[in-house]
Amino acid sequence: MTLNPVGSNNKKMETVSGGGHNTSSPASQTQKRKILLIDNDQDRQARSAILKQHGFRVYPALAIEQARSRCRPGAFQLIIMNADQNPDMALELCEQIRQSDPKQHLLVMTVREPHPGFRDFVVSSAPERLLERVESLLGASSGANPEPLAA
């Protein structure tokens, strides 16, 4: 596991990169810009606003429990989850998503020690750093399909 600093405040993000939902129709291009943001942190509105300003359609969920019913295969290009409130429940949701949609991109943020089930952490909490990470992750899926990361 490699730690790559990209921000401040010791907020960490874990990327679980699937193959992505890769189609080329105009309708699916809009779908590629859909993000489910599971976050109740004080910076949630700033994170959501900067993603919206850059063309992403952000669907907020304040709690992991609220997001469960929204996590359907192909519904979102990316699911961003703040795991600080309940890391075990976040890990459980990640596993549920991986089983139902192995190609789903996930980005998990935490300021705590990473749960053993999370991997590939980068340091960040600033909304603009989140944008960089999201664009990097989704940009990688627009061409060739990247290898899914091992569980």
Q: Report the pLDDT value the prediction gives residue 53, as an integer from 0 to 100.
A: 92
- If you count them, how many residues does the chain have? 151
Q: Which domains does the chain have, with CATH numbers?
A: 4-141 (3.40.50.2300)
Give residue-wise pLDDT tens across range 21-54.
Answer: 444 344 444 445 899 999 987 888 988 999 999 9
Is this prediction's pTM over 0.85?
Answer: no
DSSP states along 67-133: HHTT--TTS-SEEEEE-SS-HHHHHHHHHHHHHH-TT-EEEEEESSPPPTT---EEE--SHHHHHHH
Alpha-carbon dihedral of residues 119, 77, 138, 134, nearest 10 degrees?
-70
